[in-house]
Amino acid sequence: MYCNQCEQTFRNSACVNSPGTCGKDADVQSLQETLLYGLKGMAAYAHHARRLGHHDETVSAFIEEALFVTMTNVNFDPEALLDYCLRCGEMNLRVMELLDAAHVETFGAPAPSQVREGTEAGPGILVTGHDLLDLWELLCQVEGTAIRVYTHGEMLPAHMYPRLRDHPNLAGHYGGAWQDQKREFAAFSGPVLATTNCVLIPPEQYRDRLYTIRATGVPNARRLPDGDYSALITAAQTCPPCPEAPAGESTIGFHRQVLLDQAPTLVEAVKSGAISHFFVIGGCDGAEKGRNYFTDYARATPPDSFILTLGCGKYRIRDHDYGEHLGLPRLLDMGQCNDAYGAIAVAAALAEACECGINDLPLTLVVSWFEQKAVAVLLSLLHLGVRGITLGPNPPAFITPGVFAILQQRYDLRLTGQDPEGDLARALAAA
């Protein structure tokens, strides 16, 4: 691990120089990296919100201050750095709130929706990433053509917003999580637009069909001018058309407001025992071994419980029929990773109605871990004092054993094990 204080590397848990020489040890470095990754994730959400006209100067001021804290010879105090990490979580909560408001204001009040999966016959464009404004601008520019636009990955929740869902050129959804894109993009016959993070360097099979915009870029792909999709549209008209290949339907769109409208029913069901438990199972997915834990955990949940899911981690659990409970699907897809704000808002409302704290609810969070946005969301949960979060399949590589021990002690942060059914049984017994 690199030490930016003495420009050396750590050996084991200490700096090459004595800790007194540069005042730096592995735990301090770990907390600084945690703060930096949280800031990166928060900045991505803030960028999306700002493009839609929503920003908060308090957040911008904190980003400046927090980056200053990570500079050379500024802060070597673990407690102070941990406090900055928690403040980052607080600011990220505000940013997710801004983005939620921006999405609703721009694209309409979300509602549960049936989404067609697969492709229709004719020219098509596939849009991946997170930025709903890019999708909207593209739809406006293809309007009046025969081009069908499909969402991929974290763009799936676009279909819960009426302004996007009702556009005549939005055809449906194609494919799954980001780590499967090399196979899925190669099989898609039209061009692909990557709007944000979670894009892989393309192999030769579709390199000339991959387009990127603004911050997103990969070697040898084609970059679009901001807001100008003409080259992408031309490519869709010259590429081979998509085949007629339906792949079923899925139900999405259980945005926070949809669930908050159901709050009186849910609260009464919790109090009467008709709902045994709520599980939040989702987050940022990855390709390494061990992530079947989330699949097995979700399928073992009892039939009188609900699963809230969001982020690309949903693709680990969505291809299963969980049935219904109290007239609702047991699997409630709340949206993108930034819609963790919605899950927090729903939990807070249920706790208030039940006259208890969030940690007293029959609620378990099982979060798949991968990248910087996940750091920001985790810090938001810790800022709120949420305890007992299960994280996995591996601890973040930049979290030292010493820092993880602190998080375990203060927040009962846990790692996924090898026994999802046993972990589930213990969560239910502790509720």
- Please state the residue numbers annotated as binding site for hybrid [4Fe-2O-2S] cluster: 130, 154, 198, 284, 312, 337, 371, 373
Q: Which residues sit opposite 151 in a β-bridge?
A: 127, 173
User: In terms of DSSP H, where are the helices of 196-262?
Assistant: 230-238, 256-261
| Annotated binding-site ranges for [2Fe-2S] cluster | 3, 6, 15, 22
Q: How far is the C-alpha of 306 from the C-alpha of 106, rounded, in Å?
A: 29
Whether 297 and 391 have beta carbons less than 8 Å apart is answered as: no
| Annotated binding-site ranges | 3, 6, 15, 22, 130, 154, 198, 284, 312, 337, 371, 373
Q: How far is the C-alpha of 239 from the C-alpha of 189, rounded, in Å?
A: 7
Q: How far is the C-alpha of 151 from the C-alpha of 158, rounded, in Å?
A: 8
- Nearest of 68, 46, 72 to residue 59 by alpha carbon: 46
- Nearest of 255, 259, 322, 293 to residue 415 by alpha carbon: 293
Tokens of 289: 């071994």
- Beta-carbon contacts of residue 418 (< 8 Å; ≥ 6 apart): 293
Sign of CA pseudo-dihedral 312, 314, 320, 323: negative
Q: How far is the C-alpha of 345 from the C-alpha of 260, rounded, in Å?
A: 8
Whether 398 and 375 have beta carbons less than 8 Å apart is answered as: no
Q: How far is the C-alpha of 214 from the C-alpha of 229, rounded, in Å?
A: 12
Beta-strand ranges (E) seen in 129-209 are 148-151, 170-173, 192-194
Give the CA angle between residues 224, 152, 372 to the nearest 5°.
80
Q: How far is the C-alpha of 29 from the C-alpha of 36, rounded, in Å?
A: 10
Q: How far is the C-alpha of 97 from the C-alpha of 364, rounded, in Å?
A: 22
Sign of CA pseudo-dihedral 184, 107, 377, 112: negative
Whether 392 and 418 have beta carbons less than 8 Å apart is answered as: no
